[in-house]
A and B are shown apart, each in its own frame.
Chain A
Amino acid sequence: MSRELIVDSVLEIRDLWFKYPVGDWVLCGLDLSVKRGEQVLIIGDTGSGKTTLARAITSIGKLVYSGEVKGSIRVLGRELSEYTSSELSRIIGIIGQNPYLYFTDLHVHRDLYNYALRVHRDPLRAERALRKTVEIMSLHSLLERYFFELSGGEAKRVIVAKTLIADPPILLLDEPLMWLDEYGVKDILEVLRALRRLGKSTVVFEHRFIPLIDYFDRILVLKSGKLHEVTSNVRKLLTMRRDVQLGESIVMGKHEERGIVLKTIGVHHYYDSKRVLEDVNITVRDNEKILIYGVNGSGKTTLLKILAGYLKPSKGRVERRGDVIYIPQNTILFFTEETVRREIEEICKSRSRGVDCIEEGLKRVRLLSIDPDVSPFNLSHGQMVKLAVVLATISNATVILVDEPFSGLTYSDRLKLIRELLVLNSAVVLASSWIEPATIPGWSQVLKLENSALTQIGSIRPAYTLEELAEVYSRLTGEIVA
């Protein structure tokens, strides 16, 4: 019998310390033991070190990021340092946050086949391994596409399949639900069930963990560089289920007197011959807060770009009365200057606003505990979104369009962000593939973009409101919701 088969604990981490070349220790004496076939969930704040832990386990932290590592990581009974990187990639599979970066060919089938050939070194065996994985992950319909044509959920499924080609006993999934809508979440749940059936040990790092909760054997919180077991606490906290009627939170008719700042009239849009939007009519009044919910690929970003005036609709028209600002999903793309201070100065200058505008901006960023002299590119995702909102506010934007700002944020951070957006003195149109924001009171309209049409949502039935989710998370991590 091989040494690998007699080891019960497939991953054994003792007193692990990790730091990047710049900065303090991220992991401080962390211990973790994962048994064969065990499913472990690790949650924690943004920047708590979840991705770093995944990098440490796969030795990527040392190889790619030149990190310093202390302590012991034993994989299948052997020290991590005893493996070559090629051996390790066949024992530990990792599925990162952005699946699009894990393709080594543009064409899905070719990408999978090339990797299978690299692992098995024989075309027949490679073909067999590929067929098996395609079957397990139900990938038939995706094989003939380019990777950039896949939705986030589909891309993640393909990368899980790619990882499974090497048949690794351990899989690490870093934020598998990032960017995914409810269907994508179902896809990932199917993936996790398949991994359990295959007897794989799985470690999942996730912010939006509630939909996956029933799947795991153990749940741990990563805080202050160490792991803390919270499995029983989570189960206890998640007992309440109820329906949420959105009608209660919508104040109908109150905004009739306010002026219209943005309006679409019979907007249709097509990409080639594919219909994306059909007869979309939306009216945004001064100071209104509008949530547009839709699954991945439903056309939310296209609609926002049409509202912004960047895309011209194929048919219909858009009337704008005022200044519009667009905050993209990848918030880093919003910033252009070396420092936060320069960002404020330039946006004020572009509106021909003087010193008052700059001072107001500086005051606001200081309230967010953001140093005006740091680079906006060095801020966390949450801070980037908040800074973008501040810039939009001081520019006196009439309408702020926000595209999916929640990726990488904890439930508490999501709640705080929505509350901040809801009290802004501008109209806000927020697009989300995640319905829970609708459970927060204060939206003027909650709309659904489905089958190219935009309709009003009357009520929804999520298992939990966002406030409940944030409360569960806060209690688990000992954080207090503001």
Chain B
Amino acid sequence: MLRDLAYLLVYSDKTQKFGLISRLFIPIVILYSIFYVRLYSSTLLEEAAGLILVLIYELLLASWIRGLRGVLSGLKLYLIFTAISSLVFLISSLLGVLILDLTTIPVLALRLVVFFTALTLLFQLISLNEWRAIFEKLGLKTLSELYPLTLLQLPLTLYYLSESATAVKLKFKGRRLHRVVVPLILLVAYTSRSILESYVIYGFSSSVKIRLISKRDVVVYITLIVLVVAILLVHVAFKFQ
């Protein structure tokens, strides 16, 4: 599962044929759609219908970027978030802090999944060079170098997490699993020096050209319009029901 999560955080060369601006629009429109659905839905069912449309769009995009792996990662995320939401619901109910309807849980989980997937799309659609260019344009020179170096380590860190979780779970018979973070933090601290070495030796290229727009962007904008129109239609349909 952690392997699949790692792939959610890496960009695909396939997306580079589209301009940067259109690719930035995708997560922005998705996030806006999530907030729109949340604010203007009068019933849970209406919100669920809107969110399902967004999720379908995200999964279609993920399957184009990564094939079946992208879709599976998205569905696994849904299961994880449903489990987390159920747990929170259960604890809250037991403590008497928050009383929710049982039907709320899948919608809450759906909201989280759609939101999280939109964020991961940012990583999948934008390359490290483009992140650097964006931060440089914003005048954030240091961040433009630190951020890609950090992103580079994410897939390996997820692998280390899996190793550490295996070892610690067995070591303490399933207890003290929270201690997994201790070796992980130390390992990241140790490797950060080596990454600095790598940066001193190889550095980043300063003259990478970024393509802002492309003729193919029309496809991206059309799909986004289709998504927005579909959400509006659902909204109208529920209003006149």
Answer whether residue B201 sits at the interface, using C-beta atoms and an 8 A cutoff.
yes
Answer whether residue A101 sits at the interface, using C-beta atoms and an 8 A cutoff.
yes
Cβ contacts under 8 Å, B173 to chain A? 323, 350-351
Instruction: Verify B163–A328 contact, CB threshold 8 A.
Output: yes
Interface centre among A86, A100, A324, A333, by most chain B C-beta atoms within 10 angstroms, is: A333
Say which residue of B127, B172, B197, B200 sits within 8 Å of A346 (CB atoms). B172
Instruction: Verify B197–A148 contact, CB threshold 8 A.
Output: no
Answer whether residue B199 sits at the interface, using C-beta atoms and an 8 A cutoff.
yes
Instruction: Verify B128–A105 contact, CB threshold 8 A.
Output: yes
Instruction: Verify B155–A391 contact, CB threshold 8 A.
Output: no
Q: A96-B194, A101-B198, A330-B160 are in contact. Are A350 and B204 (CB under 8 A)?
A: no
Interchain nearest-CB distance for B148 vs A (Å):
7
Closest to A391 in B: B171
> Which of B24-32, B205-213, B216-224 forms part of the interface with chain A?
B205-213
Cβ contacts under 8 Å, A303 to chain B? none
Instruction: Verify A308–B166 contact, CB threshold 8 A.
Output: yes
A113 to B173, CA, bound (A): 48
Instruction: Verify B203–A101 contact, CB threshold 8 A.
Output: no
Answer whether residue B92 sits at the interface, using C-beta atoms and an 8 A cutoff.
no
Answer whether residue B36 sits at the interface, using C-beta atoms and an 8 A cutoff.
no
Answer whether residue A296 sits at the interface, using C-beta atoms and an 8 A cutoff.
no
Closest to B196 in A: A64
Q: A115-B205, A117-B208, A333-B184 are in contact. Are A350 and B171 (CB under 8 A)?
A: yes
Instruction: Verify A104–B200 contact, CB threshold 8 A.
Output: no
Task: Map CB proximity to B onto A315-336 as digits: 1 under 8 Å, 0 otherwise.
Answer: 0000000011111111011111
Q: A96-B197, A103-B152, A162-B202 are in contact. Are A332 and B183 (CB under 8 A)?
A: yes
Say which residue of B149, B151, B187 sits within 8 Å of A330 (CB atoms). B187
Cβ contacts under 8 Å, B112 to chain A? none
Instruction: Verify A350–B175 contact, CB threshold 8 A.
Output: yes
Instruction: Verify A104–B180 contact, CB threshold 8 A.
Output: no
Interchain nearest-CB distance for B188 vs A (Å):
11
Answer whether residue A89 sits at the interface, using C-beta atoms and an 8 A cutoff.
yes
Cβ contacts under 8 Å, A118 to chain B? 202-206
Cβ contacts under 8 Å, A336 to chain B? 168, 171-172, 176, 179-180, 182-183
Cβ contacts under 8 Å, B193 to chain A? 64-65
Answer whether residue B238 sits at the interface, using C-beta atoms and an 8 A cutoff.
no
Instruction: Verify A146–B200 contact, CB threshold 8 A.
Output: no
Cβ contacts under 8 Å, A65 to chain B? 193
Answer whether residue B191 sits at the interface, using C-beta atoms and an 8 A cutoff.
yes
Interchain nearest-CB distance for A379 vs B (Å):
12
Say which residue of A58, A98, A107, A326 sits within 8 Å of B194 (CB atoms). A98
> Which of B5-13, B96-104, B113-121 forms part of the interface with chain A?
B5-13
Instruction: Verify A63–B128 contact, CB threshold 8 A.
Output: no
Within 8 A of B (CB), among A175-189: none
Task: Map CB proximity to B onto A342-370 as digits: 1 under 8 Å, 0 otherwise.
Answer: 00001100110000000000000000000
Answer whether residue A251 sits at the interface, using C-beta atoms and an 8 A cutoff.
no
Answer whether residue B147 sits at the interface, using C-beta atoms and an 8 A cutoff.
no
Say which residue of A55, A162, A310, A337 sits within 8 Å of B166 (CB atoms). A310
Q: A105-B128, A333-B160 are in contact. Are A325 and B197 (CB under 8 A)?
A: no
Instruction: Verify B128–A106 contact, CB threshold 8 A.
Output: yes
Say which residue of B128, B151, B183, B208 sits within 8 Å of A334 (CB atoms). B183
Interchain nearest-CB distance for B207 vs A (Å):
6
Instruction: Verify A347–B199 contact, CB threshold 8 A.
Output: no
Cβ contacts under 8 Å, B204 to chain A? 104, 114, 118
Q: A86-B203, A117-B207, A377-B186 are in contact. Are A325 and B148 (CB under 8 A)?
A: no
A99 to B127, CA, bound (A): 21
Instruction: Verify B208–A271 contact, CB threshold 8 A.
Output: no
Q: A117-B208, A148-B6 are in contact. Are A334 and B171 (CB under 8 A)?
A: yes
Answer whether residue B38 sits at the interface, using C-beta atoms and an 8 A cutoff.
no
Closest to A95 in B: B201
Answer whether residue B165 sits at the interface, using C-beta atoms and an 8 A cutoff.
yes
Interchain nearest-CB distance for A331 vs B (Å):
9
Instruction: Verify B191–A101 contact, CB threshold 8 A.
Output: yes
Cβ contacts under 8 Å, B69 to chain A? 272
Answer whether residue B41 sits at the interface, using C-beta atoms and an 8 A cutoff.
no
Closest to A146 in B: B10
Instruction: Verify B176–A333 contact, CB threshold 8 A.
Output: no
Cβ contacts under 8 Å, A136 to chain B? none
Interface centre among A305, A337, A350, by most chain B C-beta atoms within 10 angstroms, is: A350
A310 to B167, CA, bound (A): 9
Instruction: Verify A106–B10 contact, CB threshold 8 A.
Output: yes
Answer whether residue A245 sits at the interface, using C-beta atoms and an 8 A cutoff.
no
Cβ contacts under 8 Å, A351 to chain B? 173
A319 to B176, CA, bound (A): 25
Interchain nearest-CB distance for B178 vs A (Å):
9
Cβ contacts under 8 Å, A326 to chain B? 166-167, 170-171
Interface centre among A89, A106, A310, by most chain B C-beta atoms within 10 angstroms, is: A106
Q: A60-B201, A324-B170 are in contact. Are A100 and B156 (CB under 8 A)?
A: yes
Answer whether residue B159 sits at the interface, using C-beta atoms and an 8 A cutoff.
yes
A335 to B179, CA, bound (A): 9
A118 to B200, CA, bound (A): 13
Cβ contacts under 8 Å, A334 to chain B? 164, 167-168, 171, 183
Instruction: Verify B176–A346 contact, CB threshold 8 A.
Output: yes
Cβ contacts under 8 Å, A103 to chain B? 152, 198
Cβ contacts under 8 Å, A100 to chain B? 156
Answer whether residue B129 sits at the interface, using C-beta atoms and an 8 A cutoff.
yes
Cβ contacts under 8 Å, A89 to chain B? 200-203
Besides the known contacts A328-B167, A330-B187, 16 further A-B residue pairs in the complex with CB atoms under 8 A apart: A60-B197, A98-B191, A101-B191, A104-B128, A114-B204, A162-B202, A310-B169, A323-B173, A325-B170, A326-B167, A330-B163, A332-B186, A337-B182, A347-B171, A350-B175, A350-B176
The 4 closest A-B CB pairs, nearest first, are: A336-B179, A333-B164, A118-B205, A310-B166
B interface with A by C-beta (< 8 Å): 3, 6, 10-11, 13, 68-69, 72, 127-129, 148-149, 151-152, 155-156, 159-160, 163-173, 175-176, 179-180, 182-184, 186-187, 190-191, 193-208
A interface with B by C-beta (< 8 Å): 55, 58, 60, 63-65, 85-86, 89, 94, 96, 98, 100-107, 110, 114-115, 117-118, 121, 144, 146, 148, 162, 271-272, 305, 308-310, 323-330, 332-337, 346-347, 350-351, 377, 391, 395
Q: List 21 A-B contacts (CB under 8 A).
A: A58-B201, A85-B200, A105-B127, A105-B152, A106-B128, A106-B151, A107-B11, A117-B207, A118-B203, A162-B202, A323-B173, A324-B170, A328-B164, A330-B160, A330-B187, A332-B186, A332-B187, A334-B168, A334-B171, A335-B183, A391-B171
